[in-house]
């Protein structure tokens, strides 16, 4: 079951039995739990009808689930980070058997951080007698729509294009995005509209965004800016080999653009086939204009060779990325004379 199916279930008042919330999207997972709380628990009686436990014993779970709700139709029992779902041992048979007997007066929710261990008996018991609710990362359209809605809830307006710029700049983690959205909303003050200029001015850039900007600088022949951005990433704790992998990925994207342009595909088709956010695809196409197909191919080879030398011990990681970047800058200088 995905988050949309679960949301509809809650909306229809049909939530019952045992559920496992898993998946990497922790912020949306928490929002789904809040929606369930709001639907089940009468206002003012929340504490009387909810039990929240961290990796409790089986008897504690059963006792909470068997307690009758007070002036409500159902109780909510929340179990966080059960060891059996986190891969630390197995649940006892008593709990596994109980999953099929959760009373109609209770909704039992197990919360796992990230992906739960699907090999465990408890996982399979919930899957058989209840439901596994997976909270996967939002796709580009969902993410941008979420950004627009979140700004709207704060009394601010944001166009889909600005939302795309923000998600590209910050990344797809909605918890980080919410922090940035709150910062942008505070910056805007009484002004309702959030602009792209606001995003560029204050949003915290992800490593992917910074690598894009670094490639922009390389394409433009701006060595000082490119190495300044590299220094910023290293100061922030990023590893050279990780940045090199991102640089390789970026030039592979440019290589795909060049191949598709050679095949005379339309710009819209190229954007769709790249498999990145629309805003990022536009930047890839713009970056590719600064290279010939042969130069992009050579840039990919430079990154691959440097990665191989570092991983095989032929080259120290220190200075490896800088050396690769200088070789890539030399490609452009050679063509321009």
Kindly report, residue by residue over 101-123, the tens digit of the pLDDT: 999 999 999 999 989 988 889 99
Q: Would you say the pTM of this structure is higher than 0.85? A: no
* DSSP string for 48-79: GGEEEEES--HHHHHHHHHSPPSSSS-EEEEE
pLDDT at residue 111, rounded to an integer: 94
Contact predicate 3/135, CB 8 Å: yes
User: How far, in Å, CA of 150 to CA of 184, rounded?
Assistant: 12
Instruction: Using a pLDDT cut of 90, give the percent of the chain over it.
Output: 56
Equal CATH topology for 3-134 and 140-202: no
Q: At what angle do helices 3-11 and 26-40 cross, to 10 degrees?
A: 10
Mean pLDDT, residues 167-196 taken together: 92
Looking at residue 141, its pLDDT comes to 85
Two tokens, residue 136: 């996967």
Per-residue b or e along 182-207, where b marks 16 or more CB atoms closer than 10 Å to that residue's CB = eebbeebeeeeebbbebbeeebebbe
* pLDDT at residue 335 greater than cutoff 70: no
3-state helix, strand, coil in the chain (%, to 5): 60, 10, 30
Give how far Cα 179 sits from Cα of 30, 109, 315, Å.
15, 27, 40
| Interatomic CA distance for residues 315 and 310, integer angstroms | 5
- Going by pLDDT thresholds of 50, 70 and 90, the confidence category of residue 336 is low
Alpha helices (runs of H) in 171-318, residue ranges in sequence order: 174-188, 196-202, 207-219, 223-235, 240-262, 267-274, 278-288, 293-311
**Helices 278-288 & 267-274, crossing angle to 10 degrees?**
120
Task: State both tokens at 126.
Answer: 């919930």
- SS3 call for 222: coil
Q: What is the pLDDT, as a whole number, of residue 205? A: 87
Nearest CA to 207 out of 253, 181, 255, 244 is that of: 244
**CA–CA dist 294, 292 (Å, integer):** 5
Residue 167: name the closest of 159, 122, 288, 24 by CA: 159
pLDDT reported for residue 337: 58
193 bridge partner residues: 157
Span 125-132, mean pLDDT?
95
- Statement: residue 333 has pLDDT above 80: no
Q: Ranked by mean pLDDT, which of 144-158, 205-219, 317-331 comes out on top?
A: 144-158
The structure tokens 């997976």 sit at 134
Give 87 or 209, the one with higher predicted confidence.
209
User: 89: which DSSP letter?
Assistant: S
| pLDDT tens, residue by residue, 189-248 | 999 999 999 998 999 988 888 888 888 888 778 889 999 998 988 888 888 888 899 889
Residue-level pLDDT at 105: 95
Q: What are the extents of the domains in the chain?
A: 3-134, 140-202, 207-336
Mean pLDDT within 64-84: 93
Q: What is the pLDDT of residue 75?
A: 95
Q: How far apart are CA 328 and CA 337, in angstroms?
A: 15
Kindly state the average pLDDT of the residues 70-81: 94
In 59-92, which positions are buried (b, 16+ CB within 10 angstroms) versus exposed (e)? Answer: eebbebbebebeebebbbbbbeebebbbeeeebe
Residue 22: enclosing H or E segment and its boundaries? strand 17-22
Triad 51, 2, 107: Cα angle to 5°: 25
Domain 140-202 of CATH type 3.40.228.10: no
- How does pLDDT run across 244-285, given as a tens digit for each residue? 998 899 899 999 999 999 999 999 999 889 888 777 888 889
Looking at domain 3-134, does it have CATH number 3.40.50.300? yes
* Helix-helix angle 293-311:320-336, to 10 degrees: 160
Mean pLDDT of 15-22: 94
**DSSP of 313-328:** TSS-STTHHHHHHHHH
Report the alpha-carbon distance of residue 93 to residue 113 in Å, rounded. 23
pLDDT averaged over every residue in the chain = 90
Instruction: Assign a CATH topology to domain 207-336.
Output: Zinc Finger, Delta Prime; domain 3 (1.20.272)
């Amino acid at each position: 079951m995905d988050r949309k199916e679960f949301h509809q279930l809650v909306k229809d008042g049909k939530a019952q039995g045992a559920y496992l919330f898993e998946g990497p999207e922790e912020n949306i997972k928490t929002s789904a739990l809040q929606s369930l709380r709001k639907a089940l628990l009468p206002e003012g009686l929340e504490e009387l009808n909810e039990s929240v436990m961290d990796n409790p014993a089986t008897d504690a779970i059963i006792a909470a689930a068997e307690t009758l709700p007070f002036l409500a139709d159902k109780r909510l029992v929340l179990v966080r980070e059960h060891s059996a779902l986190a891969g630390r041992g197995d649940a006892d048979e008593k709990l596994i058997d109980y999953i099929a007997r959760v009373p109609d007066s209770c909704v039992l929710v197990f919360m796992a951080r990230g992906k739960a261990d699907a090999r465990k008996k408890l996982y399979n018991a919930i899957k058989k007698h209840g439901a596994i609710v997976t909270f996967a990362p939002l796709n580009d359209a969902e993410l941008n729509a979420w950004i627009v809605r979140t700004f709207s809830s704060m009394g601010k307006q944001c166009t889909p294009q600005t939302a795309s710029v923000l998600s590209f700049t910050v990344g797809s983690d909605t918890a980080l995005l919410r922090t940035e959205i709150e910062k942008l909303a505070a910056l805007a003050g009484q002004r309702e509209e959030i602009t792209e200029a606001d995003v560029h001015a204050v949003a915290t850039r992800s490593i992917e965004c910074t690598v894009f900007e670094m490639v922009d600088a390389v394409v433009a022949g701006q060595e000082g800016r490119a190495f300044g951005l590299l220094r910023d990433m290293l100061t922030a704790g990023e590893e050279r080999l990780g940045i090199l992998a991102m640089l390789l990925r970026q030039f592979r994207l440019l290589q795909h653009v060049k191949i598709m342009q050679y095949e005379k595909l339309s710009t819209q088709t190229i954007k769709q086939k790249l498999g990145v956010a629309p805003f990022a695809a536009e930047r890839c196409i713009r970056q590719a204009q600064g290279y010939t197909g042969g130069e992009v191919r050579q840039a990919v080879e430079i990154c691959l060779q440097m990665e191989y030398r570092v991983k095989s011990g032929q080259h120290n990681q220190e200075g490896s990325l800088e050396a690769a970047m200088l070789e890539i800058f030399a490609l452009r200088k050679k063509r321009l004379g």
